Structure 1
Amino acid sequence: MTNRQFPCPEPLVLGLDVGGTSTRVLVADLDGRVLGTALGAGGNPVAHGAEAAVREIGGAVRSALADLDPARVAAGVIGLAGGLVAPPELLALWPATGLTVLPALISDAELAHAAGTDAPDGHLLLSGTGAVAAELRDHRLRRTADGHGWLLGDRGSGFWLGREAVSATLTAVDRLLPLDALDGAPLRLSGLAAAVADALLGPEPDQGSQGGPGREPRSALIAAAHAQAPAKLARFAPVVLDHAAKGDPVALSLLDRAADHLVDTLALIREPDSPLPVVLAGGLLTTDTPLAALLRPRLAARWPGATLHPAGNGAGAAAWLAARSLGRGTPELHRRLTSWQS
């Protein structure tokens, strides 16, 4: 690619938010004007392998810089899920894109915190597919709680909600299923249990929207749940949210427990009287979900002096951190970049 030449070029900053499902890139000048963005598939080397990850990251960076001179980039930051050790292939990528600087690598927790506040110290509470709490000092990760993965933790996460929804469905089947009618026993599940059963097995032809398995329901549900990767149980989290919004008591109970788990996780690393801000991140907490609605008053009651901030644009936050390394990380620049919507 031939680099364009610009008269008296202004320096640019590059921000990358790289996760397991998407790669987001943002290029801006030091006044906060966004000049290039790109969206790619997941670029997490742990999840996809180094070769595929570098291909996605490189493609997204080139797309964001398509109408710009890469040599104008004076600083860059990449927030990467899965750790802080970059594969050698990633280090070799940057010169190939035309960059003359090496983007600094930070954790996804550090990036999520910066996406919610420009304060150097604070806490992060994240609930997406997984769940974790983190303490940040001077924008650097100090310690974490939970984030132990689907087998050992992630309490209050999308996976946790999905697993508990399937478990509640099996409990409903156990309650309704007669001991002497295991084969083809007609069940009339309702609410969340019916929705989960339909999603796992498909609706019964003779039951239509009433849902519920009428074919060896217990074993069929267990087999269907075990037939998929465990993390895929997170797909039932939106089902729980939808039914909670409709007042389903089982769904509301699950969200109540999830909110308590998240508060307890944060309390492991946050002092009882801490006034530091709390950033809420992850798909279950950054939008107006029933879980976020239950969590916010609990956090306010536990830490009345804390301000709550939803995480904004992660790639914008990475670009702001890059600008900060150049001495230009102002609050106004933070607001402009983290609020950017492509």
Structure 2
Amino acid sequence: MTDSLLLGLDIGASVSRALVADADGRRLGEGRAAGGNPSGRPVDQALSAIADALRAALSGVDPRQVRGAVVGLAGVGRLQEPDVAERFARMWRSVGLTCPCGLVADAAVAFAAGSPASAVTLLLAGTGATAAEIAERRPRTVADAHGWLLGDLGSGFWVGREAVRAVLACLEGRAPETPLARRVLAELLGAEHVTPGRDAVNSVINAVRRDAPVDLARFARTVSNAAENGDPVACDIVARAAGHLIDTASLVRPDTASADPLVLAGGMLINDGPVSAAVRDAVARRWPSAPVSVARDGAAGAAWLAALEHADLTCSAEELHARLLPEPN
């Protein structure tokens, strides 16, 4: 094991992951905690989650040995605001870290988790959604990534919001009730059947408002399950989500003949489900020459980027990538 260590941190809206590795690609510590993106949660709550992930990853090593770190998250500018940056720096020091910390967009970490190639197209759909053209291992052109309030079309949040909107349409008499509406009502109100009308509408709205907006992403799984059972409303949401994601990818990859790798990232695309299946089918039709891979571990991708920046590599970048991100058995 080399004396100098590297740290990768992948901060998501739902999960924060940290990884400590050496320059030979050995994983020495891993941590996982709640979502720590300060764009979607109170700053103190977000930083506490990040610190939990870091402490777990650093528990078996001396933090002072970490030579460099890369931190990836959506809306990276939030961590660069003076007040938030100062609080982040205090948290960083509180876990024993003294190394420089590079802040990058989630697209940079996600592509690195899926391919060591220098020219890649990334399509990411987790709680949020974005597509990016990667050149020289850096995002050159980015589409969407507008956040839950303005965009993230086809994301887990978007799918969950559409599910709740479908419930409201049922309660207002604008659409028939389907199994999806009953399942969402059961999760929100504890009952599958309620009397339609304004009181029920207000109950749903109040139940949603009790949590952070991005928590609507939890209904993405509900939609997927309903779609797999043939629910027409759920199937429509899935089809529209996949269409949005392909449209977003096309903005950064208009050349349908391109043979550059295409990396799929985020829980909506790397896990089996109807959105993932629809997107993969559409990708195969739109870009038939593109080799497709999945981003397996964002924290490892961030650690790889940190190694390229801060370590004296004992192997090629491609070999280090294979060590940090081995192909699943």
TM-score w.r.t. the length of structure 2 is: 0.84
CA distance in 2, matches of 1:233, 1:140: 31
State the 1:266 CA deviation: 1.1
Task: Tell me the distance in 1 between the aligned counterparts of 2:48 and 2:180.
Answer: 41
Shift of 1:92: 4.5
Distance 2:205 2:135 in 1: 41
Aligned residue in 2 for 1:186: none
Aligned to 1:156: 154
Q: How far 1:317 moved relative to its partner?
A: 0.9
C-alpha offsets along residues 216-271 of structure 1, whole Å, 9 cap, x if unaligned? Answer: x1324421332223444333221110011122232222211211111111111212
Given candidates 42, 45, 53, the residue that maps to 2:38 is 45
Tell which deviates more after alignment, 112-121 or 194-203: 194-203
1:222 aligns with 2:221: no
Listed as ranges, the matches of 1:299-310 within 5 Å are 299-310=283-294
Distance 1:223 1:43 in 2: 30
1:201, 1:220 within 8 Å by CA — same for their partners in 2?
A: no
Let me know the Cα RMSD of the aligned residues. Answer: 2.7
The CA deviation at 1:336 is: 2.9
User: For residue 190 of structure 2, what is the aligned residue in structure 1?
Assistant: 202
Alpha-carbon contact 1:200-1:221 (below 8 Å) kept:
no
Q: 1:330 aligns with which of 313, 317, 321?
A: 317
- Counterpart in the other structure of 1:243: 226
Q: Which amino acid letter does the alignment assign opposite residue 193 of structure 2?
A: G
Q: How does 1:1-342 map to 2 (within 5 A)?
A: 10-84=3-77, 85-86=79-80, 87-172=85-170, 174=173, 189-203=177-191, 211-213=192-194, 215=195, 217-227=196-206, 228-229=208-209, 230-272=213-255, 273-325=257-309, 326=311, 328=313, 330-339=317-326
Deviation at 1:64, TM superposition (A): 2.2
Aligned length: 314
The CA distance in 2 between the partners of 1:233 and 1:62, in whole Å, is: 28
d(CA) in 2 for partners of 1:91, 1:153:
30
| Runs of at least 4 residues off by over 6 Å | none
The DSSP-based 3-state class of the residue aligned with 2:75 is coil
Contact persistence 2:72–2:106 (CA under 8 A)? yes
C-alpha contact (below 8 Å) 1:110/1:139 kept by paired residues: yes
Name the CA distance, whole Å, in 2 between partners of 1:56 and 1:193. Answer: 33
Query: Please, which moves more after superposition, 220-229 or 11-20?
Result: 220-229
3-state secondary structure, aligned to 1:251 = helix
Max Rg structure: 1
Q: TM-score, normalised by structure 1?
A: 0.81
| Gap change, CA 1:53 and 1:233, over 3 Å in 2 | closer
| Contact 1:147 1:153 (8 Å CA) reproduced | yes
Look up the SS of the partner of 2:267 in the other structure: coil
Once residues 46 and 157 of structure 1 are traced to their aligned partners in structure 2, the CA distance between those partners, rounded to angstroms, is: 16
- Aligned residues of 1:154 and 1:160 also touching (Cα < 8 A): yes
Measure, in 1, the Cα distance between the counterparts of 2:184 and 2:148.
19
Q: Is the 8 A contact 1:313 1:337 kept in 2?
A: no
Cα distance, 1:301 vs structure 2:
0.7
Query: Judging changes above 3 Å, is the alpha-carbon distance between structure 1 residues 171 and 287 closer, same or farther for their aligned structure 2 residues?
Result: same
Q: Shift of the alpha carbon at 1:282?
A: 1.6
3-state SS in 1 of match to 2:164: helix
What is the alpha-carbon distance in structure 1 between the residues aligned to residue 160 and residue 40 of structure 2? 21
Instruction: Summarize the Cα distance change of 1:295–1:175 in structure 2 as closer, same or farther, 3 Å threshold.
Output: same
Q: Mean Cα displacement is larger for which, 80-89 or 27-36? A: 80-89
Structure 1 residues 57 and 232, CA gap change in structure 2 (3 angstroms): closer
| More contact order relative to length (CA 8 Å, sep ≥ 6) | 2
1:234 and 1:162 mapped to 2: Cα distance?
5
Q: Mean alpha-carbon deviation: is it higher for 113-122 or for 65-74?
A: 65-74
User: Quick one: which amino acid aligns to residue 301 of structure 1?
Assistant: R
Deviations 1:34-68 (A, max 9, x none): 11112233333334455454444344334322332
The more displaced of 299-308 and 58-67 is: 58-67
Percent identity of paired positions between Structure 1 and Structure 2: 45
TM-superposed CA distance for 1:302, in Å, is 0.7
Once the two structures are superposed, residues 151-184 of structure 1 have per-residue CA deviations (whole angstroms, 9 ceiling, x without a partner) of 432221222222322333444552688xxxxxxx
What SS does the corresponding residue of 1:67 show, helix, strand or coil?
Answer: coil
Alpha-carbon deviations, 1:99-158, whole Å to 9, x = none?
Answer: 442122211111111111111222221222222222222222222212223343222122
Q: Is the 8 A contact 1:277 1:309 kept in 2?
A: yes
Verify the 8 A CA contact 1:13 1:323 in the aligned structure 2: yes
